[in-house]
Structure 1
């Protein structure tokens, strides 16, 4: 997939497309000395990272104002969402959380250079305060579902909706998670892989 293919699939503006491209360039430059993503995936940025992350946008309510991206890494999907919100004129802020300093430093650079309504916090995800009023919580390649629900539960209980990327083994993760949690996600097929996106609105710990 090329830059133009990505634009054709998403319909983003030329300015937004340039933002994605600059993010890609910074990622390539940084990856020369810092391991942020698998080097082999950089050649497939537009599909493996950009489109994979951006496919969340049609699933996100236009009422969303505050997003928590857990284990944000190189900004998938957090940076993509921030670019998407700006593209559709939505006043939403993305809070990206990662405990790894080099990843947060990278995110700071991208946010500043692209002028995004976003922030990167160098803290553990359990330090997020639900009272901030998050509307949406996301995570991609962060933790097994059982563990992820433990991190996300305080935000979900406070009214946030969860959109979580999972791979082809998601059924196994769901089976394992249901030993500890009562959860009934909407399963949305991924546009870019044989994985899925799990939309979760309610979760209860099994008594």
Structure 2
């Protein structure tokens, strides 16, 4: 555990984070949820950056993590912030099985694991904050995520350095979809990996139950094996 962890996380939460980090480095790798090359930089690239996200979310809120994967950032948020009520949304059984096992092992009473796609919850559930990390470009992420955002809530998505280009690519749709102008905020700049960027999007008008979205990638619909992707 790097020394920066004591600055990002409360001391009493660090033992749980260490257990989770060990699980990612062992069972997470063995079960194909995280790449072996990521193990040496689990803290610097993943846990600390997700911890920085925990620092920009308000108190006592409901949070949905779309495409939770191995639990980044959702599980880190739940561990770091026991005041948050976190729902991990993930369609793949092997991942939800792992997430449920970690939740039980860490006795996280503030976490719910939901197996399914985000759009399956449209019109049924809303949350104060909807987050995600390396799930999809904005043209797909917004239609999947925004219908889950409550009227006074917001999307707070972890994105890469090209987020400004993504925002520009859907610039003609913000007003049409009833979205307020997005805000791009760097977080964790003083962390070893240089931190990350969050995109914050709120509603300008009444929330929509659904937004128009193009067809899903064929490999996702068919259930065929996927090409390797950035670990989550």
Q: What is the match of residue 46 of structure 1?
A: 43
SS of the aligned residue for 1:60 comes to coil
Q: What is the match of residue 121 of structure 2?
A: 128
1:1-207 → structure 2 map (5 Å cutoff): 2-7=1-6, 9-13=7-11, 15-64=12-61, 66-86=62-82, 90=83, 92-116=84-108, 117-156=110-149, 158-182=151-175, 183-191=180-188, 192-193=193-194, 195-202=196-203
Compared CA separation, residues 110 and 34, structure 1 to 2 (3 A): same
Report how far residue 32 of structure 1 moved. 4.1
Aligned residues: 198
Compared CA separation, residues 181 and 77, structure 1 to 2 (3 A): same
Which segment drifts farther, 153-162 or 18-27? 153-162
SS of the aligned residue for 1:55 comes to helix
Q: Map Cα deviations across residues 85-137 of structure 1 (whole Å, 9 max, x no partner).
A: 22xxx2x3100011111111111111111111102111011112455441110
Report how far residue 188 of structure 1 moved. 0.9
Report how far residue 31 of structure 1 moved. 3.3
Higher helix share: 1
Query: What residue ranges of structure 1 are gaps of 5+ in the alignment?
Result: none
CA RMSD of aligned residues (A): 2.1
Compared CA separation, residues 27 and 63, structure 1 to 2 (3 A): closer
- Write the distance in 2 (CA, Å) between the matches of 1:149 and 1:37: 25
- Write the distance in 2 (CA, Å) between the matches of 1:32 and 1:84: 23
Contact 2:87 2:114 in 1 (8 A): yes
Q: TM-score, normalised by structure 2?
A: 0.78
Contact 1:69 1:94 in 2 (8 A): yes
Q: TM-score, normalised by structure 1?
A: 0.86
Which segment drifts farther, 55-64 or 155-164? 155-164
- Write the distance in 2 (CA, Å) between the matches of 1:11 and 1:123: 30
Contact 2:129 2:156 in 1 (8 A): yes
- Write the distance in 2 (CA, Å) between the matches of 1:195 and 1:60: 15
Contact 1:168 1:194 in 2 (8 A): no
